[in-house]
A and B are shown apart, each in its own frame.
Chain A
Amino acid sequence: MTIRFNKNFYNLKTVEKASQAYQGLADFKISQNKKVITVKLENIVPTAKRKIEDEFCNYVLAMMKQ
């Protein structure tokens, strides 16, 4: 599963912090280029598989506001 965050709206530090909060649910691999932060989710806990992507995006967005 791959999520691409637009760097105009999300920053790397926030995505990293959010991935730390979610580390018990999956393995996160974060990379970036000039425009996009790419997050690859692997070994996702079976119970979290359905919603982890959306919930993670929400979490990052909420952190951006703070």
Chain B
Amino acid sequence: MSSKNRRNIKTIKTQKQNGQLVISLNPKIYPLEAIYGACYVFVDRAYLFLDGDPKKEIKVFIEGKRKLDSKKLEELAGEFKNELLDYVLRTAIAKNTKKIRETIVEKALFSAFPSEETSEEEHIESDPLGIAVPWEEKYGEKK
């Protein structure tokens, strides 16, 4: 992507401030959960701090743990943005598949621990062969 195109994207903005980069994010596109995830990946390489307004603009302050020149700092921010996108996708997939995952786990647990008493009772109550029905009731009085 050319730098001209990058400048046109309003959902993500990067500014330099006191030797650190400030990445401003649109919370409608980058949910907070994804931002926490991306930050977590970078805590061993960078110092990160969150500020701003979670409804309007989230600011991520990022600074290398080692002294980084301008170019390296930009690279670090670029990597952070990629990680952020990765987390946005993961969050969306997790959200979209939540119900099906819960159903699978529920079914697996249910079949792993069958309640014998309940199933036996249910079986008697259903009586598909009519065994519980008395002879007289079923075929009438003896002649």
Bound CA span A8–B50, Å: 9
Residues 1-59 (chain A) with a chain B CB within 8 angstroms = 6, 8-10, 54-55, 57-58
Residues 8-50 (chain B) with a chain A CB within 8 angstroms = 32, 36-37, 39-40, 43, 47-50
What is the number of residues of chain B that contact chain A, defined by CB distance less than 8 Å?
Answer: 16
Contacts A54-B63, A58-B43, A61-B49; A9 near B37 (Cβ below 8 A): no
Bound CA span A6–B59, Å: 11
Question: Is the pair B51, A57 in contact by a Cβ cutoff of 8 Å?
Answer: no
Q: Which of B39, B54, B63 has the most CB of A within 10 A?
A: B39
Q: Binding site of A, secondary structure by majority: helix, strand, loop or mixed? A: helix
Contacts A62-B40, A64-B36; A57 near B48 (Cβ below 8 A): yes
For A57, what are the chain B residues with a Cβ–Cβ distance below 8 Å?
Answer: 47-49
Interface string of B51-62 (1 = CB under 8 A from A): 111100010000
For B49, what are the chain A residues with a Cβ–Cβ distance below 8 Å?
Answer: 57, 61
Bound CA span A65–B48, Å: 13
Question: Is the pair B36, A65 in contact by a Cβ cutoff of 8 Å?
Answer: yes
Bound CA span A60–B58, Å: 17
Task: Give A contacts to B, CB under 8 Å.
Answer: 6, 8-10, 54-55, 57-58, 61-62, 64-65
